[in-house]
Amino acid sequence: MSFVVVLCTAAQSRAQQTAPRPPEFAALTQEEVARILRMSPLPSLPLDPSNRFAEDDAVAELGHALFFETRLSPSGISCATCHDPQRYFTDSEVLARGVGVSRRNAPTVVDSARRRWIGWDGKFDSLWSQALAPIEHPDEMGGHRRTLLQVIRDTPHHRKQFEQAFGPFPEALARSTESGDPLELAHTATADESREIDQTTALVLKAFGAYQRRIQSTRTPLDRFVSALKAQPEGDLEALSASARRGLALFVSRAGCWQCHRGASFTDEEFHALGLVGANGRVPDDPAREAAVAFLKRNPFNVSGEFSDARDSPKAAMVRGLKEGGEQFGQFRTPPLRGVAFTAPYMHDGRFASLSDVVRFYDTLEGASPSGHHGEMVLEPLGLTDPERADLVAFLESLSPDLTILRESPWWRDPRGSSDRTEPTQGSRPQNPRVTSPEVPDQSQR
Ligand code: HEC
Ligand code: HEC
């Protein structure tokens, strides 16, 4: 046995020696090349023990239907209004627009099941627990958990899906009891009814979670390139242009991006303050991670709470152990970068219209608070040349999965048929072109 292992290792290291190295990597150290090798492949999807229905397709079907359901909101806003599959599950807006205007940019939900913390500030510790927030937020959907359950109960199609997934709809929430409909907002719920409402809501949230787990990206040009570096048969060194290869070399070396955007998802899953100044040039004014931790620890739907299926898990312990405090002020989660070319505009407040704008920011740090009193001081102006900036952008664009493959997935479709129905009933939307071709959209600003 060990003999075989030795042989394999020898074969492997021989492969690494004979594996081609493009000329753009000539100046890279071994450690810098190792950073590149860690970028691919994407590991298998992490399990979510806090959601015992995570792998259940019947539950995911219910979540799929509800993701596109406009009646969860009195204004006809669905999840898909802001997370439109035609736009890589974003809305192309600077700040998300639902009933009102949100404070933040809508990120994609593609690959969100890979994140340790959910949201720009990591306010949620599971994908499923996040779903209640937009439903009840007055600026997003402006709905209520009772209305959510009412729509399911009173829509035969959803009710059937619910019962296939979870068994009979709770009797305590049936339409007419002596005191009226327990799901009417005007109804004063008894303690028993409230508990039943929250328990049933948690089930439905887990359906949203199960559905969104299935929204996943596919292989990118970078993956084919890294396969070639590992001398694997499906590899292709030409999958990245010379410009993208130079950008990749910069990314793992002098530009320092790898310090936070690392591994196969291009994120350390941690939080950093880049010191982006607020509106009117004020010091950064969004408490971000500081407020998020305070919320998360008290959220009854968190991983250590009564509705979680993994209250004794390491993750639950991690949540209980999170420290609250001001040093986390202004910190945002390092966003993943796979598919980033499809999700303009950028940053938590959508302040940058294009990837070139983002790269220009890192290059000059213009728009960063100079004294960043909570800043981390990792960032320094890079002093790149124009071609180097273009190289970094070319590299970021090589992280785009093949949309033609993704569109084959049933989970990327509006289950009601025509995808036009994901458009909101009022207000105008299109600013960026829809993601309808496998080409990277919106290069107009470069
Ligand atoms: C009005 C637009 C809007 C609607 C409607 C909306 N979202 Fe979002 N979504 C956002 C914004 C904005 C954020 C970022 C919030 C933050 O982090 O502060 C977000 C973040 C998320 C994230 C986090 C992604 C990540 O990787 O961290 C998930 C998941 C998500 N939304 C799912 C949903 C679901 C499920 C629904 C429907 C129940 C929904 N959203 C409805 C705007 C919207
Ligand atoms: C200190 C950690 C850190 C370093 C170093 C870093 N980033 Fe970031 N990056 C972040 C954080 C945090 C955000 C989100 C900031 C926000 O929204 O306010 C971000 C946002 C981005 C975004 C926008 C993603 C989106 O979905 O909106 C891109 C693109 C990006 N970084 C690329 C780079 C590149 C290229 C480099 C190297 C030149 C780099 N980053 C260096 C932490 C870092």
Return the CA Rg of the chain.
Answer: 23
Q: How far apart are CA 127 and CA 390, in angstroms?
A: 35
Residue 151 lies inside a defined structural domain of this protein: yes
My answer on whether 255 and 210 are in the same domain is no
Does the CB atom of residue 110 touch ligand 2 within 6 A?
Answer: no
Q: In ligand 2, which atom is closest to the CA atom of 349? A: 17
Question: Taking the model in full, what pTM does it have?
Answer: 0.91
How far is ligand 2, taken at its centre, from the CA of residue 255, in Å?
12
Closest ligand to Cα 262: 2
Q: With a 6 A CB cut-off, is 332 part of the ligand 2 pocket?
A: yes
pLDDT, residue 424, reads 37
DSSP letters, 65-100, are HHHT-GGGSTT---HHHHSBGGGTTB---SS-BSSS
Q: How far is the CA of 107 from the centre of ligand 1 (A)?
A: 7
Q: What are phi and psi of 217, to 5 degrees?
A: -85, 175
The Å distance, Cα 341 to ligand 2 centre, comes to 13
Residue 277 and residue 198 in one domain: no
- Do residues 274 and 146 both lie within one domain? no
In a domain, 177, yes or no: yes
Q: Which amino acid is at 151?
A: V
Same domain, residue pair 260 and 162? no
- Type of residue numbered 17: Q
Which one of the ligands is nearest to 397 CA? 2
Q: How far apart are the C-alpha atoms of 121 and 94, rounded to whole Å?
A: 17
Q: Are 136 and 160 in the same domain?
A: yes
- The angle formed by the CA atoms of residues 154, 158 and 163, to the nearest 5 degrees, is 100
Judged by its nearest atom, the ligand closest to the C-alpha of residue 100 is: 1
314's tokens? 């390491």
Whether residue 243 sits in one domain with residue 197? no
Residue 284: domain span: 20-42+219-288+329-402
The CB of 273 under 6 Å from ligand 2? The reply is no
Residue 290: which of 313, 273, 304, 275 has the closest Cα? 273
State which ligand 2 atom lies nearest to the alpha carbon of 363. Answer: 38
Residue 83 covered by a domain:
yes
CB 369 near ligand 2, within 6 Å: no
166 with 75, same domain?
Answer: yes
Q: Looking at the structure, do residues 234 and 196 belong to the same domain, yes or no?
A: no
- Assign 405 to helix, strand or coil: helix
SS3 221: helix
What backbone phi and psi angles, to 5 degrees, belong to 84?
A: -90, 120
Residue 268 maps to a domain: yes
- Please give the helix or strand (H or E) that residue 271 lies within, else none: strand 271-272
Nearest residue (by CA) to ligand 2, atom 15, is 347
Q: State if residue 359 touches ligand 2 by the CB under 6 angstroms criterion.
A: yes
Q: List per-residue pLDDT tens for the chain, 446 residues long.
A: 344 444 445 445 544 556 789 999 999 999 999 999 999 999 999 999 999 999 999 999 999 999 999 999 999 999 999 999 999 999 999 999 999 999 999 999 999 999 999 999 999 999 999 999 999 999 999 999 999 999 999 999 999 999 999 999 999 998 877 778 999 999 999 999 999 999 999 999 999 999 999 999 999 999 999 999 999 999 999 999 999 999 999 999 999 999 999 999 999 999 999 988 876 777 788 999 999 999 999 999 999 999 999 999 999 999 999 999 888 999 999 999 999 999 999 999 999 999 999 999 999 998 887 554 555 657 899 999 999 999 999 999 999 999 999 999 999 999 987 544 444 333 344 344 455 433 334 333 32
Q: Annotate 109-147 with DSSP letters as a single string.
A: -TTGGG-SSBTTTT-BSSHHHHTHHHHH-TTTT---HHH
Whether the CB-CB separation of 264 and 41 falls below 8 Å is answered with: yes
C-beta atoms surrounding 90 within 10 Å: 26
- The residue whose CA has the least distance to atom 3 of ligand 2 is 260
**Residue with CA at minimum distance from ligand 1 atom 36:** 79
Asked if residue 361 is part of any domain, the answer here is yes
User: In testing the pocket of ligand 2, which one of 112, 257, 359 has its CB within 8 Å of the most ligand atoms?
Assistant: 257
Contacts 24+ apart (CB under 8 A), 77-82: 77/140, 77/141, 77/142, 77/424, 78/141, 78/422, 79/131, 79/134, 79/208, 80/414, 80/422, 81/422, 81/423, 81/424, 82/106, 82/134, 82/140
Instruction: Name the residue with the closest Cα to ligand 1, atom 26.
Output: 112
**252 CB under 6 A from ligand 2?**
no
Q: CATH number, domain at 107?
A: 1.10.760.10
Per-residue HEC secondary structure of 149-160 comes to HHHHHHCHHHHH
CA-nearest of 218, 216, 217, 237 to 227 is 237
| Token duo for residue 118 | 């959910």
Q: Does residue 310 fall inside a structural domain?
A: no
Q: Out of 248, 274, 393, 395, give the residue to mutate to test ligand 2, the one with the largest number of ligand atoms within 8 Å of its CB.
A: 274
Nearest CA to ligand 1 atom 37: 79
- State the Cα–Cα distance between residues 167 and 190, nearest whole angstrom: 23
Does the beta carbon of 384 lie inside 6 Å of ligand 2? no
The count of domains in the chain is: 2
Do 110 and 191 sit in the same domain of this protein?
A: yes
Tell me, what's the pLDDT at 374? 54
Distance 408 CA to ligand 1 centre (A): 24
**Ligand 1 centre and the CA of 109: distance in Å?**
8
Tell which atom from ligand 1 comes closest to the C-alpha of 104: 12
Q: Are residues 31 and 98 in the same domain?
A: no
Cα-to-centroid distance, 9 and ligand 1 (Å): 45
- Shared domain for 35 and 61, answered yes or no, is no
- Which bin fits 27, alpha (ψ -120 to 50), beta or left (φ > 0)? alpha
Look up residue 272 and give its DSSP letter: E
* Residue 397 counted as domain residue: yes
446 domain residue, yes or no: no
Number of Cβ within 10 Å of residue 269's Cβ equals 16
The answer to whether 150 touches 185, Cβ cutoff 8 Å, is no
Structure tokens at 131: 């779903």
CA of 82 to the centre of ligand 1 (A): 7
DSSP letters spanning 314-380: HHHHHHHHPPP-GGGTTBEE----TTGGGS-SBSTT--BSSHHHHHHHHHH-TTB-TT-TT------
347 CA distance to ligand 2 centroid (A)? Answer: 8
pLDDT at 422: 40
Q: Give the three-state DSSP class for 391.
A: helix
Residues 135, 227: one domain?
no
CB within 8 A of 289, min separation 6: which ones? 121, 122, 271, 328, 329, 330, 331, 332, 333
